[in-house]
Amino acid sequence: MIAIAAPKSITALVAHSLVLAALWVCSGFSPAQAIEDDWQGVSRIVAIGDIHGDYQNYITVLKEAGVVNKRGKWAAGTTHVVQVGDIPDRGPDTLKIIEHLQKLEKQATKAGGYLHLLIGNHEYMNVSGDLRYVHPGEYEAFETRQSKKIRDNYYAYVVKTLESQRDNQAANDTAPAPLPVVDKAFKSDWYATHPLGFVEHRLAWQPGGEMANWVSQHNTVIRINDVLFLHGGLSADLLPLSMTDINEQIRAELRGEPVDGEPLGAASHSPLWYRGLARNSEPIERPVLDAVLEHFGAKMIVLGHTPDLNVITPRFDGEVVIIDTGISAYYGGHRASLLIEHGSASAIHGTNTQKLPKSSQEMLSYFESLAEQFPENPRVRAHIETLGKPTIQSDTDDLTTNERTERPATAGN
C-alpha cells in the first residue's frame, strides 16, 4: 500500500493537498535524464490494452499470455511486456493493480525482461484533476483510520477560504464573484462529492504525489524493433516531434512544469486521445499513417484507447493493431493480448492464439474466425459486413457508445 502521511492540522492539509506541487519543486527535486524509449533486437513482445481498474481480468490476461505464473509473479523471462495505458478509472482496483505492476517492474528487470507501462489519457486525467471517471472504489482504496479527520480538516479549510474571499471582495470594493453560500445544503453536497479517501487520492495523484511521480517515470510512445506502441494514436500534427520530444513534454506536464504553448496531453490530436488511426476511413487516413511510419522509422503501430470491436483489431492490412478489447468488466471483460514473436504478430483471445492478417484478403477470414469464437459479440459480425465497403467513420459510428467516445475536458466534454 502506498503510504500517505495524514496531515495533523488544516494548515498541514492545505500545504499537502493544495500546494504540494510547489513544495515539491522547491524541495530540490530535479527531473531525471531523458528516459530510454527505443529498444532493438527484442525477440518476444507481449502487449495488453486498457485495464480500467479490474484486477481479476488484468491478472487473468497476464496468466493467459504467460507473463505471470499462478502466484502472479513474472514468468516471461526476457520478454518485453507493454501495457498501453489507462490503468485507472471505471473500476475499483486501480491501487491494487499499480502495486502489483510496481513489483512486476522489478521482477522483469531481474529476469532480463522489461515491463513498459505507457501513459494513457486516464493517467493524465487523474494527475490533472479530471475525475469524471473515477470509480468510488478507487477512493475507498485510500481510506485509513485518519480519513474522516483529514476530510473534516479539508472541509474546514474550504469554508475558511470562502470566508476569506468574501472579506477580500468587501475590503477591495470589487464586483463580487459568485461564491457558494455555506449552509447545511452546501455542507451536505460537499461531503457527498468528497467521500472518505478522496483527499488521500488527490494527494497521491496530483503533480508531486506518489502516483503522479510513478506515472511520470514512464513513456507515452516507444519503439520496440520496428513497432510503435502508444495509447491513443499519432496524428500529422505531431510529425515535427520525435518520440523523445513527445515523452518529455507529457512528463513535464505531469510534473506540473510550464511548457511552451498549449498542453499536449489535453489536446484532441494528443497521442493520448487521437483516434484517427482507429476510426477514420482507411483511404483517408492512409497518408497520415504512411507519414507517421516513415517519420518514426516503424512498420506497425499498436494502440489502445478504442475498444469498439472488443477483439484484437488489425487495420490498414495489419499496419495498425488496436489492442484495447475492453478488458475491464465495465466494458464487458473481453480478455485479450497481442504477441509479437520473431516479427510475427498473433492475437491471444483467452486460450486461443491466432496469427494476425497481413493483407485485406486475409482480414475477412480473421474476423470470421473471431465471430465463430465469440458468437455473442455482435460488433464483430457488424464489422464483417462492412469489410470491403469502406466508409468514413467518426466518433458517432454505430459501433460506439457515449462511454466509448470520451474527449478531453477542454474539447467540450
pLDDT (tens, 9 = 90+) of the chain, 413 residues, equals 344 443 333 334 443 444 443 333 333 344 445 689 999 999 999 999 999 999 999 999 999 999 999 999 999 999 999 999 999 999 999 999 999 999 999 999 999 999 999 999 999 999 999 999 999 999 999 999 999 999 999 999 999 999 999 888 888 876 667 899 999 999 999 999 999 999 999 999 999 999 999 999 999 999 999 999 999 999 999 999 999 999 999 999 999 999 888 999 999 999 999 999 999 999 999 999 999 999 999 999 999 999 999 999 999 999 999 999 999 999 999 999 999 999 999 999 998 999 999 988 899 999 999 999 999 999 999 999 998 675 544 443 334 444 556 877 764 33
In the block, cell 470589487 appears at 174
Strand ordering across the sheet containing 300-303: 38-39, 221-224, 227-230, 300-303, 320-322, 313-315
What does the alpha-carbon distance between residue 265 and residue 254 come to, in Å, rounded to a whole number? Answer: 9
User: What does the alpha-carbon distance between residue 216 and residue 307 come to, in Å, rounded to a whole number?
Assistant: 25
Contact partners, residue 167, CB within 8 Å, separation at least 6: none
pLDDT digits (tens, 9 = 90+) for 136-184: 999 999 999 999 999 999 999 999 999 999 888 888 876 667 899 999 9
C-alpha angle 303-307-311 in degrees, rounded to nearest 5: 90
Phi, psi of 344 (to 5 degrees): -105, 130
Q: Dihedral through CA 378, CA 380, CA 386, CA 392, nearest 10?
A: 100
**What's the confidence (pLDDT) of residue 404?**
56
The pLDDT of residue 390 = 54
DSSP letter string over 303-345? E-S--SSSS-EEEGGGTEEE-----SGGGT----EEEEETTEE
Q: Using CA atoms, how far apart are residues 250 and 272, in angstroms rounded to an integer?
A: 10
Mutual angle of helices 147-172 and 10-17, in 10-degree steps: 90
* 3-class DSSP state of 116: strand
Single out the residue of 248, 187, 229, 227 nearest to residue 35, CA to CA: 248
Q: In this structure, how many other beta carbons lie within 10 angstroms of the beta carbon of residue 249? A: 20
Looking at residue 30, its pLDDT comes to 43
pLDDT tens readout for residues 188-209: 999 999 999 999 999 999 999 9
Using DSSP's 3-state secondary structure scheme, residue 158 falls into helix
